[in-house]
Amino acid sequence: MTMFKTLISATKAMVSVVALVLAFTLNASAQDRNVPNADNAAQKMADNMKAELSLTDAQYNKVLDLNKNFTAKAAEARKSSTDKKQTAQAVKALNEEREASLKTILNEDQYKKYVAKKEERKKAAVARMSDRSKINMDNVKPKSETDPAVKTPQKQ
């Protein structure tokens, strides 16, 4: 009987270990799918810039190389640090380097257009974030409406 209990305990332990390994493997692969491929992101950025700025083939190739370098380094910075502030500073520094390089690749008119498009996107992102916070705040009720223990002041 004791040997049978030991065998059952060992089997339960093995099943638990297999379940944990499987859970960690599935979680890791799900995280990998959520992270965009740096080369794909660089390609998309370069394609958008070619369409918006009428890049020559030579400019396009330089921008593509620059974007691949930037996205790879930014992805590495995000992976290597768990401190969000440190990661943001590293990505900001990389972006400043990228901007300086873009200024040498693009002509004056293209760069002005690039900066204007960038500002448009920034404003649109801020508007989207503002809209989201308004939607979220519309769903939030004051605590006095949701918690009967909170007494609202009576008007006199």
Looking up tokens 């339960």, which residue turns up? 12
Listed in sequence order, the residues at least 6 apart from 87 whose beta carbon sits closer than 8 Å to its beta carbon are 77, 78, 81
Residue 97 falls inside a structural domain: yes
Residue 98 tokens, joined: 């990228």
Residue 45 falls inside a structural domain: yes
**How many domains are there within the chain?**
1
- Which amino acid is located at 141 in the chain? K
Q: In this predicted structure, what is the pLDDT of residue 155?
A: 57
Residue 110 falls inside a structural domain: yes
Q: What is the pTM of this model?
A: 0.59
Residue 109 falls inside a structural domain: yes
Give the span between the Cα atoms of 46 and 55, in whole angstroms: 9
Q: Which residue has the higher pLDDT, 35 or 107?
A: 107
Q: Which residue has the higher pLDDT, 27 or 41?
A: 41
Average pLDDT over residues 29-33: 49
Looking up tokens 């873009």, which residue turns up? 102
- Of 36-50, 67-81, 122-136, the range with the lowest mean pLDDT is 122-136
The mean pLDDT value of the chain amounts to 78
For residue 102, pLDDT beyond 80: yes
DSSP alpha helix (H) spans, the chain: 2-34, 38-53, 57-80, 84-105, 108-138, 143-146
For residue 150, pLDDT beyond 60: no
Q: In this predicted structure, what is the pLDDT of residue 68?
A: 92
Residue 112 tokens, joined: 């002005």
Question: Which residues form the domain of 102?
Answer: 31-126
Q: Which residue has the higher pLDDT, 78 or 5?
A: 78
For residue 107, pLDDT beyond 90: yes
Give the span between the Cα atoms of 52 and 75, in whole angstroms: 25
- Of 32-36, 50-54, 123-127, the range with the lowest mean pLDDT is 32-36
Residue 132 falls inside a structural domain: no
Residue 43 falls inside a structural domain: yes
